Amino acid sequence: MSEWLTIRADAYCDTVRDGTHDSPKPVESGHRLITSKHIANDTLSFSGANCISDEDYKAINQRSKVDVNDLLFSMIGTVGRVYRVESEPDYAIKNMGLFKVSDELKSKYLYYYLQSPEAKRHIDACLAGSTQKFMSLGSLRSFPVIVPGDEMSMAGIVAVLDSLTQAIRNNQQTNDYLAA
């Protein structure tokens, strides 16, 4: 194993942004507008998500378009929930952190890292707000990411964690089937 490096998120990622802060007018049908409350248990729940017009969708995506391999990060309320985008999205984001990572290996590594005890301690240390906790965009950009110094080590770590994640998902599907 090579040495470990600490890299700021804005240097590790292609870019670090956040979603719109505007509140587009809901419409009957269209594209979904996702917020932090829609991230749950390694999935996105579209339940309760408002639909927005094509015009609002395009305007939001000029600032914060979500792509495959990007990470969505809850930065208001329940801070620190993470979702990794694995298929082409048809939604826009509001009040949510966006780690844009075009490289699949780096995306997966960051996804797992943001769930680590080390990352959770850093998140807790960065929280602001008394009534509703939040993490600022500046804190997301300067988030320290601890990475192995070579790609082969990173690939090995991701392979092990991918295997464990798939086993957990399989067990959850079995449990859901048996409960039904």
Looking up tokens 């700021």 gives 8
pLDDT number for residue 68? 97
Structural domains of the chain, ranges and CATH numbers in brackets: 4-149 (3.90.220.20)
For the beta carbon of residue 37, count every other beta carbon within 10 angstroms.
17
Q: Which token pair is 4? A: 């470990």
Regarding pTM above 0.95, the answer is: no
Select, from the ranges 20-24, 67-71, 124-128, 131-135, the one with the highest average predicted confidence (pLDDT).
Answer: 67-71
> For the segment 86-130, what is each residue's pLDDT rounded down to a tens digit?
999 999 999 999 999 999 999 999 999 999 999 999 999 999 988
User: What is the share, in percent, of the chain residues with pLDDT greater than 70?
Assistant: 99
Rounded to whole angstroms, how far apart are CA atoms 30 and 92? 11
Rounded to whole angstroms, how far apart are CA atoms 102 and 69? 6
> For the segment 3-41, what is each residue's pLDDT rounded down to a tens digit?
999 999 999 999 999 988 888 899 998 899 999 999 987
Contact 46, 30 (CB under 8 A): no
pLDDT number for residue 1? 52
Binning pLDDT at 50, 70 and 90, where does residue 176 land?
Answer: confident
Q: Give every strand in the sheet of 82-84, ordered side by side.
A: 15-18, 96-100, 71-74, 82-84
